[in-house]
Amino acid sequence: MKVTLNGQVVDAREGDTLLDVCRREGLDVPTLCQDDRVDPMGSCRMCLVEVEGQRRLLPSCALPAEDGQVVLTESEKVKRHRAVLLSMYLSDHELDQDGLPTERGTGNKLREHVLTHGTGPKLPPIEAPRQYRVDANPYVHFDPEACVLCNLCVRYCDEVEAVAAITLAGRGAGTTIATADNRDLMDTSCELCGGCIAVCPTGAMTEKAALGSDWREEEVVRTTCNFCGVGCQLDLHVKDDRVVRATSPEPGTTVNDGNLCVKGRFATEFIHHEDRLTQPLVRGEDGQLHPASWEAALEVAARGLLGVKERHGADRLGFISSSRCTGEENYLVQKLARAAFGTNNCHQCAAT
């Protein structure tokens, strides 16, 4: 199919939305409620574009591309709509001393859109009722002052995780994100995956452990999650030589498509835990464990395994590797069992 974007004829594929076509051509169409992993909803109205023959602006995230469409993404009508829409968002959003959407240390796309696209007339603040919830779960914090009701967290929870732990509650200006009967997340079907945090465009959903930290002051290090053998990629945020949070990469860029489980996103406390072993321990003649070098510890282990083999035979030895190891490490374990110690008694926990 052929679509004319801002005067240029470009290709469109079957199943594309206009937003897909625009992004493939490098056009910056702002969004708040859009994520490729969930069905388009068109609720934020940020991505509206002008289509020839249509009397009103249409949401590019939900509009299928059709052959022959003529589309404008930067017309005066579109720019005026964005400016007025952002003014409306500002009237119902917590602002900082500069009159901009508050930066909560996790990034705020609404703030970025205001700085990029500007605003229209200044509107009086909307005195909307804010329903704060005290939730005893250890990981997810919700601040209704930053919520723009894009419904993205609810849709992710329903369509990607398929648990439907959170929902929209209330009506009109009192609408907010809640759970059934306002229960704590721990008392719902929530898996505490933190996907709601990852998709939230304004920082209304964020990690409790990272409250008060600022992503602009953090060093981001890409790594592989070591809690299972899937190989999910994650970004560790480091501040003052300490990991303050883990986030997921952009959807479509890694094997986990921007998703993480509760361990990958939140189980980082062990890194700096005071009880964490930082060097090998070898039991001495006094029966107590004492710090040792890796060379000494490996020698003790090898000597013990060889002793069992000499006294009872190689078949009395068994080697078990972990699904947390890489494929190369698991290969080396079975090679160690077969080549070095002469036994085929090797197993891997993921095989059970």
CB atoms within 10 A of CB 126: 11
Residue 52's pLDDT is what?
A: 95
pLDDT confidence band for 103 (50 / 70 / 90): confident
Residue 241's pLDDT is what?
A: 92
Domains of the chain: 2-117 (3.10.20.740), 313-352 (no CATH)
Segment (H or E) for 82: helix 76-91
For 185-191, the CB contacts below 8 A with 24+ separation are 185/135, 185/137, 185/140, 186/136, 186/137, 189/163, 189/164, 189/165, 190/137, 190/157, 190/163, 190/165, 190/166, 191/161, 191/163, 191/165, 191/261, 191/262
Average pLDDT taken over every residue of the chain = 92
Model pLDDT for residues 54-90, shown as the tens digit of each residue:
999 999 999 999 999 999 999 999 999 999 999 999 9
Measured distance CA(239)–CA(241) in Å, rounded:
5
- The residue-averaged pLDDT of 339-348 equals 93
Model pLDDT for residues 145-161, shown as the tens digit of each residue:
899 999 999 999 999 99
Q: What's the whole-model pTM score?
A: 0.85
Q: Which amino acid is at 132?
A: Y
Query: Helix crossing, 109-117 with 76-91: angle to 10°?
Result: 140
On the question of pLDDT at 42 being above 60, the answer is: yes
Residue 266's pLDDT is what?
A: 94
- The residue-averaged pLDDT of 4-11 equals 95
Model pLDDT for residues 226-236, shown as the tens digit of each residue:
888 788 999 99
Residue 323's pLDDT is what?
A: 79
Residue 127's pLDDT is what?
A: 81
pLDDT confidence band for 352 (50 / 70 / 90): low
Cβ–Cβ under 8 Å, residues 239 and 217: yes
Model pLDDT for residues 236-251, shown as the tens digit of each residue:
999 999 999 999 999 9
Model pLDDT for residues 116-135, shown as the tens digit of each residue:
999 999 999 888 777 777 88
Model pLDDT for residues 270-290, shown as the tens digit of each residue:
899 999 898 999 999 899 999
On the question of pLDDT at 9 being above 80, the answer is: yes
Task: Please tell me the total number of residues recorded for the chain in this structure.
Answer: 352
